[in-house]
Structure formats: structure tokens, C-alpha cells
Amino acid sequence: SFTFPEYYNWPCFFTIQVNNDTKDKQLKLWQELICAYSEANKIHSWGVMELYASELCVNKVINRRLSKKDFDSVLDRIEKTGFASYATTAKDKIFVFWKSIQEYASDIYKWAQKTGRMNSVESVVDIPNSAENAKESFYKIPVEIVKKACEALQRERKAEVFYSEATDEYGVKFFYLQGIYFPKK
């Protein structure tokens, strides 16, 4: 069960303020609320309208609702700060990250190091779904999030992500950094 923070019961919380400093703080609180609620309820992705209709955006106790315009501002903020990503170009589904993509990337890279998976090819699907990873932060998260984390590692030259037409899956190869030449694409 999720315990809402005290500010969730403040009527002004449901109207994004015009003062830029106040607005920034308020959008940050909304981001923290949505991420914390999602983590507490083990939700990795939302239908955008499902999220808008949820108890997050509608406080029945004080009879307040976040406007659709303000809700869109909240989602834009969460996406811009790297804690969410739209799953479709239509922006009708959104992945909410409990950690930043970079934090997931770091966790996956540490896992690859400690489990002897350096310089070997791994299926992106298997990384979050293998029972042997049950204690890892990335266990059972959507493959799309794991792929984004592996792409972040690729930008750091710690991994290469590739697509196999033969298996219709993405794979990833993890690298040690010293002395590796990794051409830019």
C-alpha cells in the first residue's frame, strides 16, 4: 500500500503555479510522486489516460484533479529529466523509471562484471527475465528499459547493442574499457 505525502492533500498542489521557481519545485514533486507510486505498486508502464485517471491525478478527499494541460507538463518534465520515456510516437503509453536509465545501466554493467559476462553476448530479453537475476534492480523490468540502459552503456563504449534478424531479438556484448577500440556509428 502506498502512503501519499502530505503535500498530496494541499489543493494548490493540483494547479501548476506560474512562478518559475515554484513551478519547477512543484513539477519535481509530481515527478517524485509518480515514480515512488509506480515503484511501490511495481508499475513500469502506464497508459497515459490510465495514469491521468488514476488516484495520482485525482484526489477525491479534497475534490481536486490535475488539469490535462498540467498533467502534460508533468509528463514532459519526467521525460526530460530521464525518468520516463514514451513508448509510442502517439504518446499514449509511457514507461516510468524507478531509477534513471544511467542507474539501471550501471547496475547492469556491474552485474555483467560480477557474473563473468564481459566479452560475451547476452540476450537483452534474458537480462531482466532470468530467475538467477531475481535480486537485481533490473529483474522483471520491461525489456525496453533494459535496452535503453544497454544503449546508454554503448554510448559510454562499455557495450555494443545489436539486432539479430535470425532471432528477432536484441543482444548486447559488454566490454572492459581498457584498450578497447570501439568505432563510432
Encode the chain (185 residues) as per-residue pLDDT tens digits: 799 999 999 999 999 999 999 999 999 999 999 999 999 999 999 999 999 999 999 999 999 999 999 999 999 999 999 899 998 899 999 999 988 899 999 999 999 999 999 998 999 999 999 999 999 999 999 999 999 999 999 999 999 999 988 888 899 999 987 544 455 55
pTM for the predicted model, two decimal places: 0.81
Q: Cα 178–127–175 angle (5° rounding)?
A: 10
Residues 6+ apart with CB under 8 A from 95: 44, 45, 84, 85, 86, 87, 142, 144, 145
